Chain A
Amino acid sequence: MPLLDVRNLTKDFGGLRANDAISFALDKDELLGVIGPNGAGKTTLFNCIAGLHPVTNGHIIFDGEDITRLPAYEVARRGLARTFQVYVASGDLNVLENVMVGAFMRTRERAKTRRRAEEILERLNLREVAGTMVSELPVAAQKRVSMATALGTSPKMLLLDEVAAGLNPGEIEEILAIIRSVHRDMGITVMLIEHVMELVMNISDRIIVLDYGRKIADGLPRQIADDPKVIKAYLGERYVHEHSGEET
């Protein structure tokens, strides 16, 4: 049985169909990449799965339970956490406290919450900035805080929304290693939206491609890179050219 099973998911904003009958399933321990051009409906898909947008049509089954109509906080409590593309904390909470908010979902005890948060900060290379306000951090660290906060809730599955956007190559390496460690060592199923191709192709077990709200491809990274539909809609000839011969 898949951990996440999305069936015919459709989302309309007024006259605009942002997600059009999207179906896919994701097994436990899998790492799924979601790619597609801007406006293809990737973030909308995340928001629907996480319960932030009411779904127009279709079903979302998580861990054997239909979560289609559940509010976002109930989805989170069932073990589905997410990060946000733009995560600007207005500055009332420092890094440690932010992660503690997540960890407080599972317990009332402050001491336990604090220990859990500190463990996660350690894992995500954030220990030195535990007392810093999130708004004062560089982008790369802010993205990691967003991940750490989501991990605080001890999820079964993590949705990552463009955690590598705006990072330099060194920082991308770092976040790649962190995502791997979250996936492998913590045993958390991951689904990620990403524009940084090196990262997606490198890390994903499987990739789905969205275009104009529809799923146009679903397969292994190699298959996706060779799919003419995907090249036309998103990757472009240049990517294929530059990367031909690699990894073969």
Chain B
Amino acid sequence: MEALKNAVDFSDFPRSDLIIAILVGAALLIFPLFPHSAFAMATMIQFFIFSLYGMGWNTIGGYGGQVDLGKAQYVGIGAYTTAVMLIRWDIPFWFSMPVGVLFSVTWSFIIGYPLFRLKGHYFAIATIATSLVLKDLFEVWGFVGAARGLEISPIKYAPPDFLRLIFRQDVYYYYVIFVFFLIGILYINWFRKSRLGFQLRAIKDNESVAQSLGINVHWAKIKTYAIATAFVSVVGSFHACYIKNIEPEDTMSLNLSILIALMAMLGGAGSLWGPIIGAGVLIPLKSYLKEWLGASAGLVGIDLVIYAAIIMVISAAEPRGIWGLVEKIRRRRSR
């Protein structure tokens, strides 16, 4: 009960923040009612997907300060679990999604135990390695379609199928992921005020101090890594039903892992709104860049150049991202 109360309690934010949040929320709620292109709709759904990836990453990466560059592997595990279970045994999304989470979290404990013996850059590099190994395995594993991946054919079902999450119109997907998005915000709002949230922020500050305050640093990191993993895996399962065509390259690549980390890093690592702001800036940028520039052959991959530039600017100018900048300006004004 106390947990629920903490999840819906946003009273430590200034009123102006909450008004903006409610206005943005209302705009997102009614967006599909207004005329829009299919492209805009797809971009919005991607915005929700990446907000959620970012929120998950933000638990371990932002609050805990552990730069994890291997989150894509859990997108893959979630997506593949749902796709395989639906295609082979006709098991619907709402059953396969928790199973995907179970696989992902189990895997995260297995690799998290040794991973968190490492610190800083070594940890980051090791997370990349584990993700790439898994991707290589999936590329040669016949059971999951190897490099060609899997395809969910909507013809077999009768959309709108809420149980299997198979829809013909994107607006259904929009509202499903919108609900996930709201639940995600409530969860993170609880998390940041929970014991584990406080412990992680102490760990980020100074691990020796954290230890001497009774915190089992290694275990706290592993637990949080599992939470981040669960977030990403749920959205991965959704991704499978929404895209309907999954392959290792776009569910487990290094690009995706970096993009996930970038949402929170750009928007503000270790803050509630950070990943949402990050996704709000980056996803439209990414979509429209591809649309405008992708057509001319010479400019393929320009989005990667832009990500690189963003990472450099953030780490040089404002490590706490856009939200850090907002808070800095606020503090200066209040003086």
Cross-chain contact A52 with B211 (CB below 8 angstroms): yes
Which B residues are CB-close (under 8 A) to A209? none
Chain B residue nearest in CB terms to A87:
B209
Give the contacting residue for B206; candidates A51, A89, A113, A150; CB below 8 A. A89
B199 sits at the interface (CB 8 A):
yes
Within 8 A of B (CB), among A123-182: 149-150, 152-153
Q: Is A81 part of the binding interface, using a Cβ–Cβ cutoff of 8 Å? A: yes
With both beta carbons as reference points, the residue of chain A lying nearest to B202 in the complex is identified as A101
B213 on interface, CB distance cutoff 8 Å: yes
| Contacting residues, chain B, for A111 (C-beta < 8 A) | 2
Known: A92-B270, A110-B2. A149 touches B208 (CB 8 A): no
Assembly CA distance A81 to B215 (angstroms): 12
Residue of B nearest to A89 (CB): B205
A-side contacts of B209, CB under 8 Å: 84, 87, 149
Contact: A152 with B213, CB < 8 Å?
A: yes
| Interface hit among A32-40, A72-80, A237-245 | A72-80
Contact with A along B202-233 (1 / 0, CB 8 A): 10111011111111110000000000000000
B212 engages A81 (CB within 8 Å): yes
Q: Is B198 close to A, CB under 8 A? A: yes
> Chain B interface mostly helix, strand, loop or mixed?
helix
Is A101 a contact of B199 with CB atoms below 8 Å? yes
With A101-B199, A109-B2, A110-B194 known as contacts, the answer to whether A72 contacts B205 (CB < 8 A) is no
Q: Which residue of B lies closest to A76 (CB)?
A: B214
Chain A residues positioned under 8 Å from B206 (CB to CB): 84, 87-90
Query: Residues 77-113 of chain B: 1 if any A CB is under 8 Å from the residue's CB, otherwise 0?
Result: 0000000000000000000000000000000000000
C-alpha spacing A71/B194, complex, angstroms:
24
Query: B119 contacts the other chain (Cβ, under 8 Å)?
Result: no
Q: How far is the CB of B53 from chain A (nearest CB, A)?
A: 22
Contact of B208 among A52, A109, A110, A113 (CB under 8 A): A52
* A97 contacts across to B, CB distance below 8 A: 198, 201
Given contacts A97-B198, A101-B198, A101-B199, A92 and B211 within 8 Å (CB-CB): no
A102: chain B residues at CB < 8 Å are: 213-214
A214 touches B (CB below 8 Å): no
Contact (Cβ within 8 A) A93 B202 = yes
In whole angstroms, what is the CA distance A73 to B214 when docked?
Answer: 4
Shortest CB-to-CB span from A54 to chain B, Å, is 13
Tell yes or no: A9 within 8 A of B by CB: no
A108 at the interface (CB under 8 A from B): yes
> Complex: how many Å from CA A100 to CA B12?
16
Taking CB atoms, residues of chain B closer than 8 Å to A87 are 206, 209
Indicate whether B6 reaches chain A with its CB closer than 8 angstroms.
yes
Q: Which chain A residues lie closer than 8 Å to B205 at the CB level?
A: 89-90, 92-93
Q: Known contacts being A92-B270, A110-B2, A110-B194, is A73 close to B211, with CB within 8 Å?
A: yes
5 residue pairs from A and B, CB less than 8 Å apart: A50-B212, A52-B208, A52-B211, A72-B208, A81-B212
Which 3 residue pairs of A and B lie closest in terms of their CB atoms, listed nearest first?
A105-B214, A72-B211, A76-B214
Chain B positions near chain A (C-beta within 8 angstroms): 2, 6, 193-195, 198-199, 201-202, 204-206, 208-217, 270
Please list the residues of chain A having a beta carbon within 8 angstroms of any beta carbon in chain B: 50-52, 71-73, 75-77, 81-82, 84, 87-90, 92-93, 97-98, 100-102, 104-105, 108-111, 113, 149-150, 152-153
